[in-house]
Structure 1
Amino acid sequence: MRKIKIIEHVSLDGVIQAPGRPDEDVDGGFVHGGWVVPHFDPIVGQAIDDVHAAPFDLLLGRRTYDIWSAYWPQVARNPMADSLNAATKYVATHRPESLAWGPVEALGADVLAGIRAAKAKPGPDLVVWGSSTLTPILLGRGLADLLVLLVYPVLLGRGKRLFAADADPCELALVSTQAAPSGVIVSTYEPRGPLRTGSFEPD
């Protein structure tokens, strides 16, 4: 069974909305699009390259799919563009007939079943970018195998967040971490099961 790898640009207060450019996603009146750009440096770029170094397919929410389908097919040929354009995109959507950027497959009406079916198919690992809807499902149902967070030294206050308020409690194991000169912290985690609790009170 192939692995699911989640990679996210995230602010210190948990926002993932519109990291790449001002008009990327203005839902909810979000006006801070492009907030990662001033902090992007070679270490951040290398972390992204590392996730995409081996062949991969994509697991995407509909918003991310629409943003990327309007951008990546127009990019001049380079290794990242070529890999993204060639990858099979598995998309959570209610409008499968409008998926034009292929190769592509809709996850179906039962998104969770669609994710499990995609993970069980032969093929390269699945990479997830930018979905505040899919990520809690993947972590809460034990479907994610790796979580790479690029945490930027900014507070955005409002916007779509990486983890929903009703995300299932769980634990993560820190695999590696690195501080970039720009102040970005790149941390890689593996899920470690349900949340444990305890007390500092003496028995």
Structure 2
Amino acid sequence: MRLTLHTFLSYDGVMQGPGGPEEDASNGFSQGGWVVPYAGEEFDEIVDSWFADAAAILLGRTTYEMFAGYWPRVADPDHLVARKLNTLPKYVASRTLRAPAWTGTTVVSGLDEIRALKDQPGGELQVHGSCGLAHELHRAGLIDEYRLITFPIALGQGKRLFADGLPPTAFTVRESRLTSTGLTYAVLTPTALASGGEYVIVDGKSVIS
């Protein structure tokens, strides 16, 4: 399976607490719910397109517990995201969770188990949110594609997808679009980091060395 990461970001790279004030207030984060004013038909269309391709879901412990408290209560059979989350195989990365209650959930405790999932045939193993897990997967080079919706807001604090200390990475842009509400959508695949260069003056002209 291909491992794909899906998340919402602010302009300053924050991914914490997008869906509501109480979603993730850890470390004093007080800006929860910042996605909601910008949500709309185009946003829903992008998110639905993600889940349409999902074969299995992989979540970090915190995101899993938040999802498990919300999505099983959405019983609308026409709600694609709820239907997928409630029926697809789910994996939660945790070293402490023993008996997950959400139907179809399996606990995985390390990167080797996630590599084994990737080796299975099938479609996409999708990660949604899950900041800490995203950092570990990025560091290990296990993410095949990043799907990011960036919102026109700077939050000034919060957990960031590309946090300090993570390895530098270049990306190839596979898809991009701008919605009518100012959201920027990008589909990225990691690629080799180009060596640095510099601008120099040659015959009075600024050129790349």
User: What is the TM-score when the length of structure 1 is the normalising length?
Assistant: 0.92
Letter in 2 for 1:49: D
8 Å contact 2:171–2:188 — kept in the other structure?
Answer: yes
Residue correspondence of structure 1 range 39-58 to structure 2 within 5 A: 39-58=38-57
Structure 2, unaligned runs of 5 or more: 201-207
Match of 2:95 in 1: 94
* Aligned-residue offset at 1:97: 1.1
**Is residue 88–residue 104 contact of structure 1 (8 Å, CA) maintained in 2?**
yes
Aligned residues: 200
Could you say which structure has the larger radius of gyration?
2
Q: How far is 1:113 from its partner?
A: 1.1
AA at the equivalent of 1:26: A
- Structure 1 residue aligned with 2:149: 150
SS at structure 1 position matched to 2:18: coil
Whether 1:15 aligns to 2:20 is no
Deviation of 1:198 (Å): 2.4
Identity %: 35
Residues 64-73 or 184-193, more deviating: 184-193
Residue 142 of structure 1 contacts residue 193 of structure 1 at CA under 8 Å; is this kept in 2? no
* In structure 1, distance between residues paired with 2:181 and 2:198: 38
Q: Deviations over 1:95-150 (max 9, x none)?
A: 23141113112112xx2212111211233311111122122332332211111110
Q: Return closer, same or farther for 1:196/1:43 CA change in 2, 3 Å cut-off.
A: farther
Aligned counterpart, 2:204: none
Q: CA deviation at 1:195?
A: 4.9
Per the TM alignment, residue 68 of structure 1 is displaced from its structure 2 partner at its CA by 0.2
Q: Which portions of structure 1, spanning 4 or more consecutive aligned residues, are displaced by more than 3 angstroms? A: none
2 CA distance for matches of 1:84 and 1:196? 41
The residue type equivalent to 1:100 in the other structure is: A
Matched residue of 1:71: which SS? helix
